[in-house]
Amino acid sequence: MYIERSIDALLQEWKNSSNLKPLLLRGARQVGKSWAVEHLGESFDYFIEVNFEKRPEIKEVFERIHDVHELANNLSILYNKPVEPGKTLIFLDEIQNSPDAIKSLWSFKEDFAGLHVVAAGSLLEFALKELPSFGVGRIRLCLSIHSLSTSF
């Protein structure tokens, strides 16, 4: 059973935004980031969860392919789900394990408008420090979620 959280309103606002950018959720482990995004995924026709911790081989796809349409096509094949703007939510979980996936986020805004992409990672702060520049203006950041407390 899903428990409503304060992050849910932010996720719905982002989903319905006319200026859609990939969303990057930052925060500690075990605060509910993944659970909230999975819940949001229920409101889409298709939901693809790419977990770089559980499936480290996916990292190689992002290392080899830099065109986001080709990336989306490969994810569609790997997860056997279509990738369609407005209908598909792609969730890149534990993204800190793939610097190339982090770098790809800005390309989704530029080259694949209308596609909903959310990324999250509990150790993301360390990965972001190692990147010289990072998609300024092309990625929507949800900073330092310490607790996604229940809304009453």
Give the whole-angstrom CA distance, residue 36 versus residue 51: 15
Give me the mean pLDDT over the 98-109 stretch. 90
Give me the mean pLDDT over the 57-64 stretch. 96
Name all domains of the chain by residue range, CATH numbers in brackets.
21-144 (3.40.50.300)
What one-character-per-residue DSSP string does 14-79 give? HHT-SS---EEEEE-TTSSHHHHHHHHHTTSSEEEEEETTT-TTHHHHHHH---HHHHHHHHHHHH
The band of 106, judged by pLDDT with boundaries at 50, 70 and 90, is confident
Least confident piece of the model among 20-24, 30-34, 84-88, 102-106? 30-34
CB 81 within 8 A of CB 88: yes
Q: Is the pTM of this model over 0.75?
A: yes
Burial of 55 by CB count in 10 Å (0-12 exposed, 13-18 middle, 19+ buried)? middle
Residue 130 has pLDDT above 90, yes or no: no
105 vs 47 pLDDT, higher one: 47
Closest CA to 27 of 148, 147, 144: 144
pLDDT of the residue at 123: 54
Give me the mean pLDDT over the 92-98 stretch. 93
The band of 133, judged by pLDDT with boundaries at 50, 70 and 90, is low
Residue 146 has pLDDT above 90, yes or no: no
pLDDT of the residue at 129: 53
Residue 30 has pLDDT above 60, yes or no: yes
Sign of the dihedral through C-alpha 27, 29, 32, 38: positive
82 vs 132 pLDDT, higher one: 82
